[in-house]
Structure 1
Amino acid sequence: MIINNSTSFPIFKKGQQLKSSSLTGIVNFAKSEIMDTRMYLEGAGIFYGLEVTIDQQNGAIRLSPGAAVTSDGKLFSLEKEIIFRSVSDVQIPLLTKTPTVGLLSTGEENHNKLVYRITGVDPDNPNGTPDARTYLIFLVMTEKTASEDSCLYGQDVSETSQTNTVQAVLVDKNDIDPNELKKWMISVSSNTLGDDPFINRFGYTEENNKPLISFAGFTDWGKVSDGFEAVCKAAEPLIATSFKMMYDQVKDKLGLDPVNPFTGVGNVLETLRAYVENGGGILYPWLYDYYRDLIAAYQELVSTDLFSYLSYLPAKDRFEQYISLGSIRGEQGVKYRIGLYRPPFADLSVNALQKPKQLIERLVYLVDTAHTRFQDATGFPPTTVGFTPDAGINRELSKRAIPFYYKDPATLAESWSAELTRSGRHSTIPGIKDDRDRSYLLANMDGYEFFRIKGHTGALIDPTMDAIEAQRRELHLPFDIKVLYLGAKDDMTQLIKERSATFSDLTVILEKIVNDIRCARTCSDEFEIRIFRRKFDRNDIGSMFEALVLLFDGTKDLDEKLRELCDSDNFCFDEDKTCCRSHLTSLYAVYVEYVRRKEELAGNLLFHLFAEKHPGIEHNGGVPKGGTLILVCGKTDPAFLSEEKKSSLVKLMLSDQAAGISMVEELGNYQVLADFCLPYTCCSDRPSINLVLQEAPPVALFSIEEQTHLPEGQGTAVVLKNESLRADTYRWTLKDYEGTVLKETDTSDINEPGKFELLVEDGVVFTITLTASREGMSSKYAIEMTICPQGKVQVTSNGKPVVDWDVSQQSELGIEAFPYGGSFAMVLKQNDNEQELDPTEYDINWKEDKEHLTLAIKQPQTGLYQLRYTFEDIEDCEKGLAILDIHTRVSTAPQPVPVNRDVSPSPATGHGAAGSTIDAAVFNKRILSYRSGVNAMSKEDDSLLADSRWADTKAFLLAGGAPEDLHTAYEKLQATLQTGFTKLKVAQKTQVIKLLIYATAYYIDRLVVASPDKVPAIAKKLIKAAGESVGAQKDGAQQWAQIWTDAGIITQENEKTVAAYKGLIA
């Protein structure tokens, strides 16, 4: 029953005469109670199922089994799938209207009408106006009352019955008031929480009306203290407002004290901040941490389930007597489907109310500053250094350790974590007792990602660092330590000046320069005095450096400065001033390096400069695992340091030990004022170890499950089994021998096999690739398949199966083979003998079109060669052989061999040592040796066959064309070989350099033949770049000399050109 809403129902007495209204009242009362129970205690909307599928191909709408409850509590349920195939127009009461809707039915009488609404195209009039309207699919309950005569009451009295029917209808979206659609959404309560409180990061400031984080001004403790004070002060009103508003919202629902305990919180925090300020601000870092605790406690409270359900309440008129299942042609991104709306606390666990109450109790405890130690007269901050293990700075407050600035951590632990309190294990929370914290770190550190620190602020750096280093060593804690100094850049520079800083390597250099000056005796006797303002003194080397600073400081034009010095009286005896200028230039270089190191030193020791170079510095009251603990120290009075301490400090700062914990030995009188941290190791000489756990990537893998021949020799059908790991989507790709994609299929079912038909008409070499993917990661696995060509094999030369080859006139034979993908064998027949040639005795290379090849026999003989092109390696491939008969001969009167068209455009002649003619056969033989060398590399390392760099080099050596094309091809290949070179392993680099040598040798020989009298400018640039790459590689020059030589190719015409090429690569 509804509160403040009277509900009446009949009550019967014995002997009472019954009326129809009484019986009807009983029914209505029971029905009302059932519907209210559903709506207020269980929820409304679609609970499960009732999914709509639009089947455009068959012109049908499918509705899956499921259940839903209307906003007024009526239950709609479906046990079996319904397929609607017809629609008819009817008028029914719906919402606030009685529109004409499309009543869906399972019959076929108006099938085309439904197709028209689903597809937008009228099957009876395809050229008619398309239906572009948006239809919503509703389940609607209609009521029908009927009367019939009853024999019990005679002729004039009838019996009445009511029938409720749930029907599926299509409703034109334009017939629905938009305000009715808005009712489907959850209605948000007007008294929701305001903005969450927050505290800005240390260093927050504004420049040019733009907020940012900057450490530039933090050069003394006063400014650091002001930085903490500013962010704390800004957070106080946010904390006060949000805490009070939150309590007012939940106090009635949780039965809390009506008096808001957070009233006046802002004043309490302001008073505490003033106390810290009056104490010199040394406690500001901990006050900052305390405010962050309060905000974290608030965020944990408002993130509970309690607040997600307080934000809305059910409304009975949201979707009375109907449920919307979806739409046809709905707006993109809009789902016209009613969700499931649960009432408050319907899904809350048994502890859902207990936990918020405990979290509020904890917040009340924390905000009471009397429970903190900030205003303790003694003992705070603590003086004993200690570490407390912590789950992590970004974890919920209840998961973290209890900070040391609370007075009674044992009492606070009882409300710190609701889960541990409920299980009685709250005493195990770190931060209660120091000895227990230490035992946690000795037992198992895996659950802790952060180490809280205490006992270091306000203490002298020397004993503090000793204590920190001792605990880090004893507990084997993984973090680094860095000491920084508060001060201005000028202060640090002056400190270094006062103590005459020393750099050992620069000292050696400076001494050598001075000795050279003395030995040369070209400068005046006053030279040293003019430079160093006294005689050079190696025992006061720091002052010597500072003298260089005074001499050269402010120099803008070095030449002008040197001229001014050398031309001055009694400065230099050298007439042309050459030696004088040389010595001064060397001294100037020492000055520049000395000043640079001083600048670098200041940036490595001053807090504000170091922070600029290391973004991410934060004050968190400790250090993350694997991070860097930064101790910021300073002094209140410069006289606080003795001269001995000053000297020791500066010497240490300028040594190799400056960055890290060794520095603390000479920082004894500096006070630790605050701690900061970095989330990474940055500063010590210890190697950092970063362990990153990543999800295992997917692995693509498949095997051939079935392979069958297609009828009439069309090809082969294959079925592939997907054996991939850790993937959820898969893509099958089929490519032909040219890399053209023939077919692609996608699936998310690993059990769905890949199926392809490999047709001979597309070639016989195919590549099948499976790409397995998951969450942006992917893996590929591919296999190459060669199928039987079914007798369609050819190998010819100029289209003929028999060819005569004069090997004295032509070093290579052009041939054609089809289809691509077979293997070659060669047989020599002489007289009655038949001998199969070893593959090393001849070279056969495919050209880029994979239809033409070149054949070269290293030591050809006269006779009959048979070149056999076969697919015999393929199982059951009986019709996979073709033979080319090659009759070789030697001309009786040999003529100069014409240059192969793929090598050069014209013959090259010249003179040798005895004036003999040099013909193009020499160049052909050289070029064949380059090709053989590249082929031999792949036989030594078969992995090169899959390397695009090797394939591109081989293609370049087979290419022909004009010199312009040659330049372009060589430049492109050079860029390919150099891409990613620095990331290769040593063996791979050696292979790439060797490929570059073969390509460059081929390029030069081609150019010598094409342009014997000149070196093209583009060639000079490209060959010089290649020479630098070859020379930089170990044994590169030796390899070049073994592969390319000018022996036998020099003529009177090309002599200067060959020498120029040789000089470029030497």
Structure 2
Amino acid sequence: MEAYNTTIYPVFEADQVLSQKDLNLLVSHLEEQDRITRKNLIGLGIVCGLEISSSNENSVKISCGTAVTSLGFQINWKEKEFTHYHDYEISEQFLKPDYLQEPHLDNIFKYASQYEPVKNCMELVTSASDDNTKKPLTKDFLSDKIVVLLLEVSLIDQKNCVNTNCDDKGKRMEFNVRPLIYPIKDLNTDVFHEHTVMAKAPKLTFPRYNVDPYINITTGNDVLKQFNKVCSDSFVISVSDAVSVLYSDFKNNYGSNTNFPVLQNCKNKINEIVSNYKSTINIQYLWDWIYDITEAYNEIAAFRKINPTICCVNEGLFPFHVALGNGIETGTQYRTPFIATFNKSQEEQAKLKQLELLFDRLNHIINSFSVPANGKIKVTPSVYGKAMLSEKAIPYYYGNVLQLNKKWSPELTANQENDTILSYHSDIAGYSNAKPVKQPLLFDIEPYNFFRIEGHLGMNYKSALKDLTLIKNSNSLPFKITALNAVDFADKEVDIMKFEGRWDDLETDYDLARKRLYNITEFVFNWMNTRRNKLISENILSGQTIDNFKNILQEIKNLLTNDLKEFLPNFTSFYEIFKELNNVFLLHRWCIQLNRETLSVLAEDLIDRLDDINELFLEDPFAVIYEEAYVRWQNVYKDLFFSTFIKKHSGLEHKAGVTKGGTFILVYVDSSIFKAAAPPPSYANLLASVKAYKDNIAIADDIKVELEKSIKFKDYKSQIKTKPTTTTNPCKDETDNIKANLMEIAKYKLDTTYTAEMSGFILENFKDLLQFTPTVTGDNQNNSLEQLVIADFFLPYTCCSDGNTIEIKLETAAPPKIEMETPEYCNNDMEGEYEVFITGKSGGNFIGTAKDAIVQHSDSYFFTPGHNSVQTPQTYTLQYEVGGEVSNTLEITIQSPQELAWSFKRDANKPSVFMFKNTNANDTHSYEFDFGDGSDTIIADNGTANHNFDFSNSQEFNVTITQLGEICRSTQTIVVTAVGDFNANDFNSNDFYTD
């Protein structure tokens, strides 16, 4: 700090004669120490208060407060309100005091002369002043004036002259605080300096999705169009202007050396990015990016003003005054700020560094928007709500993330903890070595209330849903996932085949009906096949007819797919085939009875079997299941669509993720879900074949007609069939049908746009319009969006459970799966057939090296290890392919029998005992011995076996040795033969030999 003349001061001694100089030096030292303490250790300027206001337009009120001048003088003020003013001239005793005899006052009064140019001014006075020259204040008068508190320091001569005697009374320092006013346009800037301050920046607000105005969103293009709201020129300009003002305030107020040209006008850069991505599927990321810009701006604005600090005070700044301004806040004000000194400079410098990093981050955000190519889905914990941007995870769509990481959170960077910031890119090299940062979902997620979900835009929606569900389930994350289709479903019928949910109760009913049909048809076929020769010999059925029956029954079973969902769209064709087959069985029944007065037991049994099938047809269980399924489907399928969902569930938001405990919604486009116009050719061909077969039956046409009439078709209960009508005006019926359809469409359209009252009013008037020409407009859907995820949203609550037995939201469909009881077989198993169990869709094909060894019986598939294609011992593969999806891979091991190496010899001491030995020393298998003499089998574990044969009853035994513990049954046969007279007295070693 600057040294004054008080670098020395007097020290008094006893009986010392004190001079005027000694006393003044002491007083000067103490007074200067007070002022130095204020200005050099605390600060200078307006400390608090001294605010200008008014109770009316014609007055000025100065609130109480404290200020310190740049010389260190303290100004204390009590609140006063002024209603008048008068002309005032600053005293010459202040401007030009005579202090030749007091040189120590030079450090004070040397600054007084700088007020000479503004000595003519106006002083505020109260209404109680007795000054006759006072004038009232007016609004117009005050509008262009500033208020200044002047500390008028006067050196007053205290000489008291009476007659001819003038005693020297000395001098005094007199301090008066005067409230002066000056016209702004005439201000002397050498005296009254402008103080540029960072005004409190306004907060940028961000629009909500599809609000103000709300529109009906139907197609994928509608979804994407709503993201364009933040790309409008007006919004981009408002963001750019706010950033520019904030950056200019920062540069001007703190004199920072940082230079970020884009912050001076970011509109061009934003528009450049917008033009590149606006027409792409990544427009959602533009929305997120511009949101980040506004949040980065708001964090800087919320950082508040950082007061400038100084260490070495310039005493000439405002030595005897402080300016209070005029009560109007502007960016440039004539109001003296408070400037902290020394003790706060390091703290403020740290804040300034953080502020510079925040601007650097904003610069990086604007300049580095980049959507990665071929991204993958990741879930990153983050925070949601009032948290600043620096507290959230770094998003997916930025380049040079390693540099952004150093700027994202100034506080963490200052503490060298920026490697703890979570990000989509936190697993790249050099980002962090901490596993909780690289794999945050494996660790405590309690501090987080939000999950960023990124990388799925542009993916096939089924793949995205599958991958995201896997991440969610494998990490036990607390949110739900659903997917919605953004297509217009009005006037269209959704193909139930595209339904990917659950239909548990109807699936059970369908499986039971299908299994019953299988059992009955299988029983009938086996019954006919067992009695084939007798049926032919008794001329009841020909061999060709039996074969035709077999083919028909097989085709019936093939019509019934494993999955009810696959069966329902083709029910109409199946229904027609069912009726034609009913006719076929009736015709055969009639043929059996033709020209037979009495029926044999076999013929009656055959008729009973045909009646079993016919009764199954007449019960029509599949029509009942079909009806119930479609009644439900018509009621709920609309909830598959985004347009319906957003009307029923409020609070939909887009924040690039989902809150903890919320519902994450993938929006996709799939117009292939609508029902195809033509039925599958296979069903049409089959129907034609059955009709041709029926027509070829050698029965007179009139008899066929009579038989067909005998069928009670009303027993077929399907409600989708055209009902009999009593009307005689088909034109009117058709008109009513068209009108009803149009009314339904109109109601759907009106409900999405108008209130319920207005919609009802319009519909009432619309009912009278019977003459019209319906027109169909093309869907404005962008074909390039087909099958792709185009956007995501979330609801802050778990959705949705309406208690319906149909889960209408898209769930991940499990891929087909195949299983077998065992994967190992022997190639000498020529008769064995082993079932391959299929889970999932039916109607597919087997692939792999073992595919040719698969045979089908009814709706089941079997592996035959004796097939020529799998005779070579090795491992074969088997997969099941259906609808473009491939099942898991089964590895089937085929083995072949081994050649055994057992030898044998007779015990030299006991001729009837034979010893068997395994010559393969490395063989550790156990073996079963059947000696062929009726004795119990034995198990040999150690490679040897002994047996005593009784040759008194038989001269030859077949010994069968079977290897245990292997898939293939490997055996060796040894023949033991008796030769010679075993009971003769001449017994010797040559009486036996073995083969």
TM-score range, shorter chain: 0.3 to 0.5
Task: Name which structure has the greater RCO, CA cutoff 8 Å, separation 6+.
Answer: 2
**Higher-Rg member (1/2):** 2
TM-score normalised by L of structure 2: 0.38
TM-score normalised by L of structure 1: 0.36
